[in-house]
Structures are given as structure tokens and as C-alpha cells.
Amino acid sequence: GAVVSQHPSRVICKSGTSVKIECRSLDFQATTMFWYRQFPKQSLMLMATSNEGSKATYEQGVEKDKFLINHASLTLSTLTVTSAHPEDSSFYICSAEGERRYEQYFGPGTRLTVT
Amino acid sequence: SQQGEEDPQALSIQEGENATMNCSYKTSINNLQWYRQNSGRGLVHLILIRSNEREKHSGRLRVTLDTSKKSSSLLITASRAADTASYFCATDGWDDYKLSFGAGTTVTVRA
């Protein structure tokens, strides 16, 4: 149980375009999901906390107008990178909170490359 | 915010040897967890240790926690090539259940 999927697993887009990444909890409902960003050979940096039915909470330094988060249902959160730039190229990982608040189940990640 | 630091940054060992990595953190914690990440993949949860626990075992994994030193160690015994991965510690606080990740240790197990 507690499986989280992400789609797509890889995406290449051109500068200036927008790309949407989906995060789904497949066999459980998640009121809260998290979005992380990971640069090569670095750790995960929390970008935002996504709460079902309410606005996401962004970490300091993360532009909310650039990284749009929507958590419209208990099993789906989306991250849209708007007007993408090459520096947005990164590995984006989502997680879904389990029954206990410190439990997080991670998706397999999405590799975004902006050309 | 990232509060954990891990050492070593990288570790290369022979199959069958033990691998030890350490994690230090700055603020008081509720739980400390260890995760494994294979290259280009998501995170796999390995083990959780609560702030009132000092040691925990799971298969070939042994985790210790010293809250007085704000540090934890992960020991992988009898390592296998499949253990080759990056290992991260992550902490959560009493007031904030968001996870804060350490920098990670990259472990390479040579066959």
C-alpha cells in the first residue's frame, strides 16, 4: 500500500512554455502533499506544502506565481512550472502524507529539462 | 529548510563490508528518518527512530540516535552491490511535521 505516482517521469520543454507535473496517491487519500526539488548530487529542498481544498504554502524563496500548485482532490496534486527557464531544470519529487503526519510516501520523481 | 548534515559525503566499500554514515541536525526533533535513493529515482523509506529511542534495527540496518549530540548514524552490515545508492536523513519537529533533509551520503558497494 501507500503508493504515490508521478507523471510524467521525464519531460523536456522549451523556454517560456509551461509544464504540469501530476502527483497521485494511488491507494490512499492524502489531505497534504509536498513538492520537493532536487538538483544533481544535492539533497531535497521543500518547495511547498499542498493542502486539499486550500492554497498551497510555499517555502521562503519559492515563487508562488512561477510554481503553481493545485490540490483539487484527496488523491491528486499538480505542480505547474510556468514560463520555464533552463535554470528550472531539475528533479521534482512529490510526497503524500500518511495517517501519521510525519509519514511521507514519495513519488518516483519527474526529471524536467528546459531547453 | 535543510538542517541536517551528513558525513561522509561519499563512501566506497567492498561487498560484504559494513557502511556507516552519520547525520547531524541543529534543532530539537520529534523523529529522525533514513531514506535511500537510487540514482534518478524517488525515495525509499528505510527506518524511523523517535526522539526518545536510542537504537533501532531493521534487517541489516542499525540506526542510533544521540539527542544530546544531535546526531544519528546509519549502519548497513554485510553490504551488497544493491545497496549502492544515496542515503538521506530527514528530521521533523514537534511543531512542524515538514521533513528537513540532510545533504546525503553516496554509497558505492564494489562487487
Tell me which residue of A93, A58, A77 sits closest to B43, measured CA to CA: A93
Q: How far apart are CA A75 and CA A30, in angstroms?
A: 6
CB contact under 8 A, A46 and B31: no
Any CB–CB contact under 8 A between B42 and chain A?
yes
The answer for A 35-54 residues in CB contact with B (under 8 A) is: 41-46, 49
* Bond preceding residue A8 cis, omega within 30 of 0: yes
Per-residue pLDDT of chain B (111 residues; tens, 9 = 90+): 446 678 899 999 999 999 999 999 998 899 999 999 998 889 999 999 999 999 999 999 999 999 999 999 999 999 999 999 999 999 998 777 789 999 999 999 999
- Residue pLDDT, tens place only, A56-80: 999 999 999 999 999 989 999 999 9
Under a CB-based contact definition with an 8 Å cutoff, are residues B63 and B76 in contact? no
The residue of A24, A38, A43 whose CB has the most chain B CBs within 10 angstroms, and thus the best one to mutate to test that interface, is: A43
| CA-based nearest residue in chain A for residue B31 | A102
Q: How far apart are CA A100 and CA B78, in angstroms?
A: 32
Q: How far apart are CA A50 and CA A25, in angstroms?
A: 13
- Minimal C-alpha gap between B77 and chain A (Å): 24
